[in-house]
């Protein structure tokens, strides 16, 4: 998780997709949801990013529970304690100190803050902590993983660049498509309708070009299977996509990029 939170961040979507694909193959196109959820790292990594966990990994910076950034961190974690429990299996409560919460979350990437001592005046002393990078050779391992992922990605790009595809003819005439929005619909519902419209038009315009892509590179191209669902905490749309006979969940901006 530490690797995908840092050096390997751009490769995380592909990692999760490959894991889901393997589970589908093992289950003969069926999947056990608890196993699927356990095998996906993207939600947990996005959550740690939003909590700004990496701010604590600056060496030699002393941290106190009363520091402004520590107070803000605790408030954010307590606000989203239910999401943290769901995705990271870490229990957060008001009773915990900000340092204790940070330690619980840092443990998810096998790191911790080291105790320095109690500093300050006699009647107002506080426990002080700082981060000391572990001597576990993880940087060397991360470098090997990065080389592996970059090589795999370059191989995919090379295959795609060598493909000869016909250029699609797309009707650029503006289309007056009625919208059926009502005053009671939320912004997220309206956003979904706009996204649905773009996806539908995109597939309709692809025609034989899209079919040629499917027949040429098979599982590299997918078709949206059902409606995208809005993840309010992550602030993004996600959608189930069929890759041939297999189905996996991807974020919609990734789908749009394809």
**Could you tell me the pTM of the whole model?**
0.59
Tens-digit pLDDT profile for residues 109-159: 999 999 999 887 777 788 999 999 999 999 999 999 999 998 888 776 554
| Tokens (6 digits) for 60 | 């030699």
196 vs 37, higher pLDDT: 37
Question: How many CB atoms are located within 10 Å of the residue 41 CB?
Answer: 19
- How long is the chain? 258
Residue-wise pLDDT tens digits, 40-58? 899 999 999 999 999 999 9
| CA separation for the pair 138, 124 (Å, rounded) | 38
* Angstrom distances, CA of residue 227 to CA of 21, 197, 204, 232, 252: 20, 11, 17, 16, 11
Buried b (16+ CB within 10 A) or exposed e, 8-17: beebbeebbb
**Average pLDDT of the residues in 193-214:** 44
């Amino acid at each position: 998780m530490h690797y995908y939170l840092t050096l390997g961040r751009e490769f995380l979507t592909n990692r999760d997709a490959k894991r889901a694909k393997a589970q589908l193959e093992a289950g003969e196109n069926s999947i056990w949801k608890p196993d699927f959820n356990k095998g996906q790292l993207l939600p947990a990594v996005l959550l740690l990013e939003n909590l700004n966990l990496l701010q604590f990994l600056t060496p030699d910076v002393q941290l106190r529970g009363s520091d402004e950034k520590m107070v803000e961190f605790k408030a954010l974690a307590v606000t989203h304690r239910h999401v943290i429990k769901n995705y990271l299996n870490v229990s957060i409560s008001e009773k915990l100190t900000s340092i204790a919460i940070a330690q619980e979350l840092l443990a998810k990437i096998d790191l911790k803050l080291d105790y320095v001592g109690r500093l300050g005046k006699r009647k107002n002393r506080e426990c002080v902590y700082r981060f000391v990078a572990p001597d576990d050779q993880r940087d060397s391992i991360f470098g090997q993983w990065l080389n592996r992922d970059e090589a795999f990605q370059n191989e995919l790009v090379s295959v795609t660049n060598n493909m000869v595809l016909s250029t699609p003819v797309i009707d650029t005439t503006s289309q007056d498509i009625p919208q059926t929005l009502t005053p009671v619909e939320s912004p997220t519902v309206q956003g979904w309708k706009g996204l649905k419209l773009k996806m539908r038009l995109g597939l309709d315009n692809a025609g034989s070009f899209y079919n040629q892509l499917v027949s040429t590179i098979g599982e590299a191209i997918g078709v949206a299977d059902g409606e995208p669902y809005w993840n309010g905490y992550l602030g993004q749309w996600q959608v189930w996509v069929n890759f041939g006979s297999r189905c996996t969940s991807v974020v919609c901006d990734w789908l749009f990029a394809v």
